[in-house]
Each structure stands twice: as structure tokens, then as C-alpha cells.
Amino acid sequence: MKVTDTRRLKRAKVELTALGMGSAPLGGLYAPVPLADARAALSAAWQAGIRHFDTAPMYGLGRSEHLMGELLREETEGFVLSTKVGRLMSFERPGRQLPAEAQKNEFDSGWHNGLPFREVFDYSYDAILRSYDDSRQRTGLGRLDILFVHDIGKVTHGERHDHHWQALTRGGGFRALEELRDGGLIAGFGLGVNENEVILDAMEEADLDVCLLAGRYTLIDGSAAEALLPRALERDVALVMGGVFNSGILASSSGRKKYNYVDAPAEILAKADALEAVCREFSVPLPAAAIQFPMRHPATGNVVIGAKTATQVKQNVAWFEQDIPQAFWTSLEDKGLIPAV
């Protein structure tokens, strides 16, 4: 399997390279990223043949979209750009009080290179259209290909979920996305989340094309295989798979303590040890298996993974293209460590 292999999305009718470039790290997630490193990472992705780039207003509170635009404005064509809606960038000034939706959510670790804005959750009709316009301005691009509704769901919003869900459904958020698609301004839309159930719910509310699912179809967590992947295949809704390292526990064979942004519990550590034992048996690096695993399912459009440096991009490419024997996957299935395909 090569990074440059492509899969054509049945509904959005765009082609995604098998490996996509995520950009949360470039916004300063967990640690600052110097401008030179960020530019070099994006350049390395382009040179490797990656042509799907994923970003979001949230990543660096606008920084990531600016960086993506700087690269892609020079290329003008031959790429697919996805970004997200659901958060507006705002700021405080005398006499202006930000709404409750501007409160920091517990899953936001902060942005070390973030721009001086505050995120405000808003999934309404007007906010979706404004978010589209704002992303066009930040990237400076003539088009955006895919819009993902970012982090809608109970895990992120808790008791505020119903309020935001109503804005997206009855309040016209989905209608705005449909108008953008019908008008040819985007190729398709869906959700960008880390919850299986909310994508299933959204399929009953809107005519989705493609969704980004983080962390729910990985070597550690195969829960998407139970209901979501079969439904996505049935509806021709492609799934872009992110979070393949589950916050780091699958990124290396040592020092893996984080799972889904928090310290990994004992049962997760035990499963990681079991996976690593099979990896040693077949001489397969654990991160290579983690990156390639989602591509085995026909519902997967591609895998998106972020990086902070050109070296990390090149390592991700090497892991993605490393030969892994079928016997390795069969062994994991037989041991009940991954769901059968």
C-alpha cells in the first residue's frame, strides 16, 4: 500500500490519497511548533505525495488554517482540503461579553502557538455559513472541498448537547451545509467526531457524504465495527479515520501512557501489551500496524494523521507503506484483539 494510492468517495466524488495530513499538532497541541518546523512538515507531506489535508478553526485557534492555506495557495489544484464547522473564533473587548459557549471545554488542552481568539460553539444556520466564509478567508483559497461538523456529541458538550443538536438539526445547521453542497461550493459534508453514536444519529437527520471518525476504529478500540461501519457501507458514507494512535498509546513501544487524552487504565495497557507481543512475533512495528489497520475495512476512505516536523511526516509515510503480512492480521483476529473484516 502506498501513500499515493487513492480511493474515490462515492458520494462526494473526490479522490483521497490513502494517507492524509492532519494539522492539530501544527496549531500547538501539547507543545509549541516553530513556524519553520510547521512549514517543513507540510512541505514534506506534499513531497511524499499526500494530497488530502485536514484542518479546523479550532487547531491553534486559526493558526492551522493559515498554515494550510499558505502551502495550498501555491499549488492551486490537485489536492483535497477538509476543514470543520461548529466553532467560531471570537475575542473579548470592552463592553462585549462572550456567551457560555465560549467556555473552555475539558478536552481542549490549550494551544501553545494559538492565535489570540476564543472559540464559541455555534452549530446554527448562520454560524455554519459564517464559519465557511471565515475558513475561506483564513486559508485564502478559492474552494473548500469537505466540511465536517466538529465535535458535536454528548462527550464534548455534556448537558449542552441537546441545545447544540437542536441548532444543527432544527436550527438549520445541516440545511446550511446542504445549500453549500447543492450550490457547488463544497463537494460534501459530514461529522468530524470521536463518537460512533452521533454519526448514526446524524445519518437519520441529514444526507451525509463523508465523516471523520477519531479513535473509534483502531487497534485498541474497534467499537465502530459493531454498528457504524456496516451502516456507513449501506449508506455509501465514507469514513476518514483519525486518532489511530489513540492519543499516543499506539505510537511507540515505550512510554505509552495516554489513551483518549488521559492516563491509560490497566485494561488498555494490558491490551497494548498483547498487541505488541504479536507485533514482535511478526517483526511489525506497532505504529505501522496502527496506521494501516483502518484501511482494511471497505468503509474507510483514508487515514489522516498529524505531525509536527518533516521527520515525523517521513516516519508516518514509512510506517504506512511498510509491508505487513496477512498472517499478522489473522493472528490478531484469532486472538480476539481486533474485529474480523
Cα 50 to Cα 243: distance, rounded to the nearest angstrom? 18
Does 122 participate in catalysis according to the annotation?
no
| Nearest alpha carbon to residue 267 among 220, 335, 225 | 220
CB proximity list for 47: less than 8 A, separation 6 or greater: none
Using alpha carbons only, how large is the chain's radius of gyration in Å? 19
The C-alpha angle with vertex 262 and arms to 259 and 263, in degrees rounded to 5, equals 80
For the record, the C-alpha cell of 83 comes out as 476543514
Query: What is the full DSSP assignment across 41-101?
Result: HHHHHHHTT--EEE--TTGGGGHHHHHHHHHHTTT-SS-EEEEEESEEEE--BTTB---GG
Does 54 participate in catalysis according to the annotation?
yes
Q: Which of 37, 54, 209, 221 is catalytic?
A: 54
Does 104 participate in catalysis according to the annotation?
no
For the record, the C-alpha cell of 58 comes out as 479550532
How many residues would you count in the chain? 341
For the record, the C-alpha cell of 221 comes out as 478500540
Task: Yes or no: say if 85 and 132 are a contact pair by the CB < 8 Å rule.
Answer: yes
The C-alpha angle with vertex 53 and arms to 47 and 55, in degrees rounded to 5, equals 140
Secondary structure element (H or E) that encloses residue 324, with its range = none
Q: Which of 37, 59, 122, 221 is catalytic?
A: 59
Q: Which of 84, 122, 145, 209 is catalytic?
A: 84
CA distance readout (Å), 278 to 81, 219, 251, 333: 36, 12, 16, 11
CA distance readout (Å), 300 to 181, 233, 263, 296: 22, 9, 28, 8
What are the catalytic residues? 54, 59, 84
